[in-house]
Structure formats: C-alpha cells, structure tokens
Amino acid sequence: MEMLLSTKGITICLFFFVLSLAAAIEIPLSVSQLPTITEQSHTQVAYPFDEDFTIKCEARGNPQPTFNWTKDGKPFDLSSDPRIVSSNNSGTFVIQNRGIINNFQGKYRCFASNVLGTAMSEEIELIVPSVPKFPKEKIEPLDVEHGDSVILHCNPPKGIPPLHIYWMNIDLQHIPQDERVSMSLKGDLYFANVEESDSRSDYCCFAAFPRLRTIVQKMPMTLKVSRLKHANDSGSPNAAVTKANFIKERKPKLLIPPESAGSSSSVTVIKGGVLLLECIAEGLPTPHLSWVKVMGSMPKDEPETENFGKTLKIDQVTAADEGTYQCTASNPMGSASHKFHVHVEEPPQWLKKPEGGVYSVGTNLVLLCEAIGNPEPSIQWKLNGMPIDGRTFRGRISTREISLTNLQLQDSAVFQCEATNKHGTILASANVNVLNIAPLILTPDEENYATVVGYSAFLHCDIFASPAADVRWTKDDSIEPLSTFRYELNKNGTLEIRDTKKEDSGSYACWAANSVGKRAITANLDIRDATKLVVTPKSPRVLKSHSILLKCQAEYDSHLKHSFKLSWRKDGDELPVNSTEGGRVILDRDTLFISSVLLEDQGVYTCVASTALDAAEAEAQLIVLDVPDPPEDLQLSENQNRSVRLSWKAGASHNSPVNESIIEFEENRWEPGRWQELSRVPGNDTTALLSLAPYVNYQFRVVSVNAVGRSQPSKPSLRYATPPAAPDKNPENIRVEASEPNEMVMKWEPLKPVERNGPGLEYKVSWRQRGVESDWNEELVKKHSLSVRNVPTFVPYEIKVQAVNNLGSGPEPNVTIGYSGEDVPDAAPSGVSVEVVNSTLVKVFWFGIPRDRVRGHLKGYKVNWWKTKNMLDGKRHHPEKHFLTFVGDRNYGMIPGLEPFSEFRLTVLAFNSRGDGPESSPVVFETPEGVPEQPRFLRILNFDKDSVTLSWGLPKKANGHLTGYVLQYQIINETHEVGAVSEVSVTNRSVLSWRLAGLSPSTKYKFYIKACTAKGCGKAATEEGLTLAQGSKGSGRISDAVKPTPKFQPSEALEPGTEYTIRLVTKNWVDNNSIFEDVIETRGRAYAGIYEGISTQGWFIGLMCAIALLTLLLLTICFVRRNKGGKYSVKEKEDLHPDPEAQSIKDEIFGEYSDSDEKPLKGSLQSLNGDIKATGSADSLVDYGEGEHGMFNEDGSFIGAYSGSKEKGSVESTGSSTATFPLHA
C-alpha cells in the first residue's frame, strides 16, 4: 500500500546546489559569445566531370561572425575570380567548373571573426587532378634469348588513387601470370626467364583510375625470344632447347629490391595501414619465394602473401608488426635474400585537448594540450588564429599548457592548439567566454507537466548564468524550498520527484540567483492514474489444432484515452496488427485469437499498453499440448531365447508428460504387416524386458502416450528371431457340435500363430464315452475340428485336445464333457388343458415329456392354435395356425390376442436343438363375448338451431350379440373448457340414426357413439358440429374418409332434391384448406330420369379426373409429411377436443396401450364404461410364449406380432377434429 503524504503546510529545509553551468549548457545565442566553427569541408577532389565544387565553412557567434580565407598560408580573396560564388553570413563558397581550374589546387583555411575573437578551421585541401595519359613514344622490340630475364616497363601516368594496372594483349585478354611471369606493385611485368611461347608483339599495359572514370593504354610492346645462338648442333629441337637451358641455368637474382639497394632496406608504414613488402627474382629454373620475420613471429601462422608469394601483406598494422622481415628466392642452383627493416609510425593523436567554456570575472583559466605520434608531434599555440607572442601575452604559456589568472571580460578569446608531425596535423580549439550576466532561465514559464502515480516527475529549469546561479524549488504558496528523499535537484536545474503521489499535483516555482541578479518561472504538475493490465487466461494450456482467445483488460486514466494504444508481442517480437498466416492469428484491439494452434505458437504473449505518460505490460504463458513425438533410436540387448531388452529414446512430450509407452510387435511368418500390442511400460521408462514366444521373427516399435493421446509409432527396430520350442498351451473353448443324430463333431479354438512355438503344428484329439471303461480314441489332425460318426444319440463323451509340433507336445490337456448328436423328441406332451381367462386370453397347462424322450437338450414347448368358427354367425373358418414358444422346461403358458366369441383348437409339442417333436391331441375351447369395436362412422345428416340428426355405421367386429348403442354429446368451444356429457341409450340394435332435440342455437357440440354387447360398450366414434343461429336455414354435414387409391367415392344418406356443398380436404393437412369445392343439388324423385346419363357427360368426367389427380397428389404429400414425423394442425385440434370417454380398461396382462387419437378432455366426466371391469390374470408375464415373429422378453415386455394373418379390413374413425360443416348466415 502506498502511503499518502500531504505536503501542504510542511516546511522543509532546502539543499542548495551550486551549479557550474560553464560546460553543461550551450551558450544561448542571445548572449555575446566567441565564434565557433560548426561545419567545414575536408580534403576534396575536383573531378573534371563535376559541374562545381563546394568548400564549406559555417560558424555561429554573437555578434554574427565574418569570414576570411587563406590559401597555402596566404590571404585568399573570394572575389578574385568570377567563378567563385559566395553568400552573406556564410564562409562557404562554390567554384564553378569552367575553364582551367588548376590554379585552385591548394590548402585552404577558414577564419570566422567577431569583436570577441577569431575561430579557425582545419586545413582543407582541394586537389585538381589532371587527365592521366601515357606519352606517345616508339618502343623498340626486345630481342632476347631463351632463358633470359626480361622486364617490360609500364610507367603509368600520375592520377588520383586507387590505380589498377592490367597487362593484356590487343584482344583484351589477360597475359597469364605465375611464379615465372608476374607484375610488380608498380605495374612492371617481370619474366624470371623467358620461353619461346612468350614471343608476341602486343604486350599492352592498361592503367585504370576508377575515381576519375578513366582507363588509359600504353603503346604495345614486342618481345622476341630466340634459341641460344651456340646451340647449333644437329640434335633434335628439344635437345637443342635442353642444351640451351643447361647453358643458361643460374641461381636466383633479386630484381626487386634491386642489387643497388644492398642486402637490406628500410620501410616505413603508418599504424593502422597496410604493409606491402615485395621481392621479385630472376633465375633458371624459376625461383621460389619465401618469407620469414627475423626477430619474433609473423602475425599469423601462415603469412598472407599475394602475387604467387612475391608480396607479403599485413593489414591493420600495429606496433607489434615492427621488425625485420626477410624474403628468400631459391632454386636448385642457389638462393638470394633481402631484409626489410620495418618501422611503424603514426600521425598525431590527442591525449588531451584544450576545453573552453564560460568563465566568470576573477576566475582562473588553465588549458592543456597533449598529443602523441611517431615521430613525436610539435605543439603550437595560437590566439584567435594567430601565433601567441609570449612577450605580449599576459598569461603563462608552455608547450603543453596555457594559464591565466583573474580573468576579465577582455580576456575572451579563441585559443587554438596544433599538433604536427610529418604524417599530418591536428587542430583543437577552445573558446574562452568571460561573462558577467544575471541568470537566464531558458525553460518557458507556466509549463504544464503530467505523470502517473508511482512514476518520477521531471520539472525542467534550464539556466544559463555567469557567475553560476543558486537554484531552489518551491511548491504552491510556500516560500520554503523543497527537500525530502523524494525530491532531487539535478545539475541542470531539473527537479525530479520520485514515486509520485496524487498529492504531488500543484504549482511549482524555480528560483535562480547570482551576484548579478535573479529570475523565477512556474511549472504546473498533474498526477494521473497509472495504466493497469490483466491478460486472461494467465497460463492457458491448449491442445494442438484447437483455438485460444487471449483478452487484455486495461484500466487507464480518462485524460489519457486519446493517446492510449494497445499492442501484442510474442516472445518479445511485436505481432502485426493485421491478421497473419492466412487469418489463423487475428488481433482485434484487446483480443488475440489463434485458431488451429500450432506447436510454434507456444510462448509468452505480452499485452503492451502505452499512453503519453506511461506504459504497462501483462503476460500470458501459452502452453501447447500435443501427443508426444515418436520415440527414436530403438536398440535391442540382453538377447535370450524367450526375452530381449528393448531400449529407446523418448520423443518430445509437448508439455504433457508421457504416462505410458506401448510396445508393439510385427512378425513376418504368419501375419506380416500386422502390428499387435505386446507390452505396456508405465511412466517415463525407456526400457523394457520383453517376454517373447518361440519361433517368431519379431520386429518392435514403440508408441508413447500422454494425456493428449498417442504418438505416431516409432521406426521399427531390427528384427529378432526366437528359436522354436514345444507348445506352451493347448487349444481352448473345446465344444461338440453335430448336425446328425449319430455324429459327433469336436471343435476348438486353434492356437494363435505366435502360440505355435514351432513348425509342424498338429492337434492330438482323444475321446471316450463317459461312464464306460474303455481306452481313449486318439487322432492327430491339422484342422481345428474332428468329426466322429456312428456314435449313440446324445451320449456324453470325455474329450481332450493337445497341441503338438515338431519339437514336442504341449502340457497335459484338461478333460471336456460333450454330447453326441441330437434327434427330435419322440413323444408329445400329455394332459393338455385350457383355462379361459377372458374373451382374448387363455391359460394352457400340460405335462412335459420324459427326459429320455427328449433325445437332446430340451429347448422348450410350442403351443399351436387355430380358429375353427365364429360363435356369432356359426361360420366355419379355414384353419390358420398360430403358435407361441415357451422356452425351458415348463408346463403352462398364456395365449393372448384371441378373438372373442370364437371356437379354437390347440396342441402342444416339445422341441430341442434338432427340431420339433410330435404334437399332442387337439383340445377345443371357446372364448366368451367381448365389447364391440368402434362404429365404422358417425355422420351429421342435418343441423337445425336446436336439433341435429346423426347417422352411424355398424362396428366392424361385434365380438358378441349387439344389445344397442350409447349416444353421448357435450358442448365444446375453442378452449379447453367443455360442458357436461349427456347420454341417450338406443336399445334397438337395428337403429342406425337418431335425432337429438333440445340443443342450443349457434353452439358447437361434440358427439360420441358406442356399440354395446352384454359384455359392455366399445370405443366411441366422434364428430363435431355447430347448431344454426335463429332464423338460419337448416343444413347438415356428411363426412367420408377417402382412401388414396380410389378415383371416386360414393356418399350415402343424402336427401333427394337438396342442395349440398361438396368440399375435398386433406386429412392431417397443415391448414385444412379445401383443395376442391363445388355446390350440387341431388335429384328429386320426380326428376330422376333427367340425370340418368350424367356419368356419360364430358364435363363430369373431366371434373372427376381432376379431383382424382389432385387427391392423389395431396395425399402423396401428406404421406411424405406424416413419415417425416411432422405434427399437423388436425392432430393438434384432436388433442384439444378428445373423447372424454376414452378407453379406461387396460390390458393388465400385455402391458400394451393403444395410442388413440381420442384422449379425454380436461374436466370431462368419468368414462361411461368405467364400470366394465377387465378380466385380469394373476399369472406372470413370463407365462406368455414367443411367436414366429415376436416374443416376450424376460421382463414380460411384448416384442413383435403374433404369427398368422389377421382378417382384412380395419376400423377407421371418420370423426373430424375440426368442424368442416358449412355455416350460413
């Protein structure tokens, strides 16, 4: 926590700082001062292709200085030549390149003067080069003998260095050079000895001056080489040459340095320059050159030489390179040598330069001037550019020092010190300004400063004064100077406030005073809140190929919002603002998003915020997780018959430690190319002792696993083959399967390839009948099965299977019990009886067959039944069998789904794996009456304001003798609220229509019709309709369900001579809009003959065809939508107004419920048939068997359907969920 300190009212003692500002602050131009050279030229070359040449000299001072020039030590008038252009208040002049300008060559010096003194520049040399040319001369041919030495002189013209010399022929092809033929540093071409092939007439010397952009050529030279004149014997030409060579052979002779230079010479080189020592020798055979340093060692073990060893080169010469060097030219005839005494010299360099400054009246002055060089430089002092006369100078002067005491204003001057030796001159100037002025505060008044909390604040107060001024700072209205550990006054007058706090804001004053006067300025300081950053998440760990979003949350002072900037860096390198790598890395102000993270994205991401006053950083360490790299360098060791040690080097874990390694193997004998897991090694272990199987040619690889996943497999190891051995195990899962009664097929799981342990694998099968004392029957087979015939039916056998190969047998096998082949049962169940539970369910009992008559494993019993006649009409039925299967050894079962009021026959049989046994004798039973099915339809024939006429159809199945109908109705509306249910009993079963009176006008009703037997009433058919308003014409509605396939639909119960509106709508269509609507009038009985031929009318046929096509199209669409599971408005309407008397009887045996569209309404009455109790059974659902296409699960849930076909036709509700009855006003 920062401690907040209040500075108001605190009186603090001031630490006074006496500032010596003589050299610290440049003298303001407003103050009188000596001239100072600020810019000048150095050595300059006047190239002939330049338009002009500028020689610069600029100076400042107060008063403004005037300029004068000297050339070669003599005054030089800039107005003496019209080609010189100068300007006012500047010493710079320009020489225009017109005419002959050689007279401008020389050494110039600039002098800048005012009333206080004179400043002097260094010498400026202007070089005006001439155009280099070779002289026109006639060069006589050189005629020499074979073996002589020759020098072709170039003598290049003078010019601006560097100079490059080339020897070429007239075709501009270089003359080949080697140890025999070479060019000296001066450009001459030396032949240690000539050969006849050296003869040519076009030896040309070219001199190139790059700075002058010039190449010049000397006249061609001719060299003729002839044989030795005395070699005129009759031998072959080669013999003559050899003899000539023999005569000319001689020891080496140095041509450079020449013999006249003696055995040694002196060489001077400038420190830091390049030393080049050259030796060229003639002789036959061609001499070889070598170099040594007589005293000491060469700068390098192998000295750098050029020109085929003839030039020794040393770069960046130092004093250590001084000494004696010797070159030696040698051939088989002898040697010659020369010594070079190398001296290293250097131009003057400053040790101490005189330093001027600002001095107050009465102070003392000491100027020092020291320089070194070789030879030692001479020192000369000058005053205002002129040598100092010791006789008139009031101070003391020596070679290295000048001193003055009690300085006065008139002592202001420019002192110059020049150090000179033969290698150059250096100049140093010291301006001694003696001033007596009041303090000048150079910092503007009322400056505004700002910083942030915790940073340092710097309030400037740049002061120039002579004598030096005392400086102090005060805050706000206090007159006491500031001084605590947090305040520091720098030498330049700046006040530094460390570790600023909010209370440091305010107004500050800087006071400066000396003996001449005093000055003061004020400064205002504002303290802002520091910028703070937080990057989230701080240390994210991201899976490779996933994405990461880094967010940088910043807080900063509102005054700094215009200068606030945010940027991101990764590992110190700034990320570009625009998206990178194809949009994979996206910067969006304060967020950094990386998609498909790569391993190289790992690193430190830094959010950098900066304002005009401060900067802040926050980091997030992104760690990228990935599967390990594959292991490497797999090695095998500790080789044994059944084991080997595998070692490897783990790959990079990618920030998720390896928790296990999976060792896989592949063998090339049985399953080449298939890799199988062999072992797992926990943790970071990188070695494992592997247990191996015999007779396998192994190859291993390793997969590393970390929390992210598995690495790629390593490269395979070398192969390792184990020797064969006898089997270690026998086959497993030994079983007996048989398809014939007197057959036994023994099968087992064969050994895996890696379990064979050797070649020649076979299986030794042993068997004998259980409980019978007999020897084992044995047989060797290569397959994994053995068939034995002529065995008793379903008899137990003891069986053993042992693995055998060429090296021996496996362990003693275990004995397995198996049975020989089965046959179908030869007996039928007895004592079959039936107990009727209800009209659709019966319970069957029987006595099972003896175990010895099963002749196999008893699988269960099958109950077969078929309907023989309908008890209602007495019709006989074609027997169509159904069956249910009851698994296991049991003696009863439940038969569901029977038709009520019918006669059935039933048989029972046993079955095993082989098949079905004989059936029992048929048992006859009858089912009692049941409730009827839903009436086929319910239609509204006519509606009036207070009555309605209803018509309905017979139930599809009466399931007994009909006793009549129950007609119910109730008021409904468009909400969930409904009225009470009213009921009418129709006791005459022949009545199929009824007129209900006493209804309310303009009211919507829902009607229900149920058929009844003595057993009870069945499911209701429903319809809805709206009674007419007072005064409306009566009308009604008849609805028929149209099947998709017919092209016409007859409509019944229409009144003759009545107008009807025909509307065709789709069932369950989305909006119930009609797809066809027309108004027709039925024929009256008196006019029936008029319309007898309507079916032959063309318009009628076309109309019917259109209706049929549209019906087919719409029903097809409806069918597709229904299959897609769509929910339509018709269904929703039906859900809104369902049958309040929905079926309440649950089939407690099946647990199977009807998904009827007729669901009870909220608030409806209790079901009318709720008093009809279902005849339940106390038996468990496991009593039900399984049919051909279905069965009951262990928990009793029913699966599938019963076998056998049902009677064709189905009950279809014609009730509509919406009132399609046309309403007329």
pTM for the structure as a whole? 0.50
Mean pLDDT calculated for residue range 409-424? 92
How far is residue 798 CA from its own chain's centroid? 67
DSSP string, 24-85: TSPPPTTS-EEEEEEEE--SEE--TT-SEEEE-EEEEEESPPEEEEEETTEEE-GGGSTTEE
Residue of higher predicted confidence among 655 and 879 = 655
Token pair 């009308």 is at which residue? 1035
Cα four-point dihedral sign 822, 826, 831, 837: positive
Does an H or E element contain 838, and which? strand 830-838
What value does the mean pLDDT of the chain take?
82
- Indicate the SS3 state at residue 742: coil
Nearest to 592 by CA among 607, 614, 573, 604: 607
Side-chain-side CA neighbours of residue 1172 (13 Å): 22
The answer to whether 156 and 163 are in contact (CB under 8 A) is yes
pLDDT at position 1179 is 42
> What would the pLDDT profile of 716-725 be if each residue is shown by its tens digit?
999 999 999 9
Q: To the nearest 5 percent, what fractions of the chain are helix, strand and coil?
A: 10, 45, 50
What's the pLDDT tens digit per position in 275-316? 999 999 999 999 999 999 987 777 766 678 999 999 999 999
Rounded to whole angstroms, the Cα distance separating 433 from 684 reads 80
The lowest-confidence range among 16-20, 565-569, 706-710, 1185-1189 is 16-20
pLDDT for res 944? 84
Higher pLDDT, 216 or 874: 216
- At 916, list the tokens: 């079905």
Please give the average per-residue pLDDT across 1187-1214, as a whole number: 36
CA distance 867 to 872: 13
- Three-class SS state of 1114: helix
Copy the structure tokens of residue 203: 């030896």
Token pair belonging to 992: 């199929």
Cα separation, 200 vs 170, in Å, equals: 10
- Kindly state the helix (H) or strand (E) to which residue 1108 belongs, with its residue range: helix 1098-1123
Q: CA separation (Å) from 132 to 160, 550, 960?
A: 9, 72, 142
Neighbours of 864 (CB within 10 A): 18
Return phi, psi of residue 344, to 5°. Answer: -105, 120
Q: What CA–CA distance (Å, rounded) separates 480 from 1153?
A: 102
SS (H, E, C) 310-349: CEEEECCCCHHHCEEEEEEEEECCEEEEEEEEEEEEEEEE
d(CA 488, CA 473): 10
Distances (CA, A) of 198 to 166, 381, 901: 17, 63, 140
- Length of the chain in residues, anyone? 1225
DSSP label of 545? T
Distance CA 551, CA 586 (A): 12
Whether the per-residue pLDDT at 2 is higher than 60: the answer is no
Q: How far apart are CA 821 and CA 718, in angstroms?
A: 52
Note whether 767 and 817 are within 8 A (CB).
no
State yes or no: pLDDT of 206 exceeds 60.
yes
Reference 113, options 136, 89, 133; nearest CA is 89
Minimal CA–CA distance to 817: which of 709, 712, 934, 736?
736
pLDDT of residue 664: 96
pLDDT class of 234 with cuts at 50, 70, 90? very low
Question: Mind giving me the DSSP string for 139-197?
Answer: PPPEEEETT--EEE---PPP-SSP-EEEEE-TTS-BPP-SSSEEE-TTS-EEESS--GG
| pLDDT score, position 976 | 65
pLDDT in the model for residue 1032 = 59
Structure tokens at 260: 């006249």
Question: What does the block give as tokens for 460?
Answer: 């400037």
**How high is the pLDDT of residue 41?**
93
For residues 515-542, one letter each, b for 16 or more C-beta atoms within 10 angstroms of the residue's C-beta and e for the rest, the string is eeeebebebebbbbbbbebebeeeebeb
Least confident residue range of 263-277, 798-812, 1176-1190: 1176-1190
Query: In the 3-class helix/strand/coil scheme, how is 32-44 assigned residue by residue?
Result: CEEEEEEEECCCE
Q: What is the DSSP letter of 1085?
A: G
Span 833-862, mean pLDDT? Answer: 92
How distant, in Å, are the alpha carbons of 479, 725, 763, 776 from that of 810? Answer: 112, 10, 10, 18
What pLDDT digit, counting tens, does each position of 341-368 carry?
A: 999 999 999 999 999 999 999 999 999 9
Higher pLDDT, residue 1185 or 448? 448
Residue 558: burial class (beta carbons within 10 Å; 0-12, 13-18, 19+): exposed
Coil vs helix vs strand at 1183: helix
Mean pLDDT of 1202-1220: 34
Dihedral pair phi/psi, residue 414, rounded to 5°: -105, 120
pLDDT score, position 662 = 95
Q: Report pLDDT for 1120.
A: 66
Residue 479 has pLDDT above 90, yes or no: no
Collect all residues with Cβ–Cβ distance below 8 Å to 1205 and sequence separation of at least 6: 880
Residue-level pLDDT at 17: 34
- Cβ neighbours of residue 472 under 8 Å, at least 6 residues apart? 14, 16, 481, 482, 489, 510, 511
Selection from 311, 330, 329, 207 nearest residue 267 by Cα: 311
Decide if pLDDT at 1196 tops 80. Answer: no
Query: How many Å apart are CA 20 and CA 553, to the nearest integer?
Result: 49
CA quadruple 621, 627, 628, 629: dihedral sign: negative
Q: Are 1140 and 1165 in contact (CB under 8 A)?
A: yes
- Interatomic CA distance for residues 510 and 519, integer angstroms: 8
| Distance between CA atoms of residues 359 and 992, nearest Å | 139
Q: Quick check: 125 and 46 in contact, CB under 8 A? A: no
Beta pairing class for 615-625 and 541-543? parallel
**Is the pLDDT score of 519 beyond 60?**
yes
Among the listed residues 55, 57, 41, the one whose alpha carbon sits nearest the alpha carbon of residue 91: 57
pLDDT digits (tens, 9 = 90+) for 82-131: 999 998 889 999 999 988 888 999 999 999 999 999 999 999 999 998 88
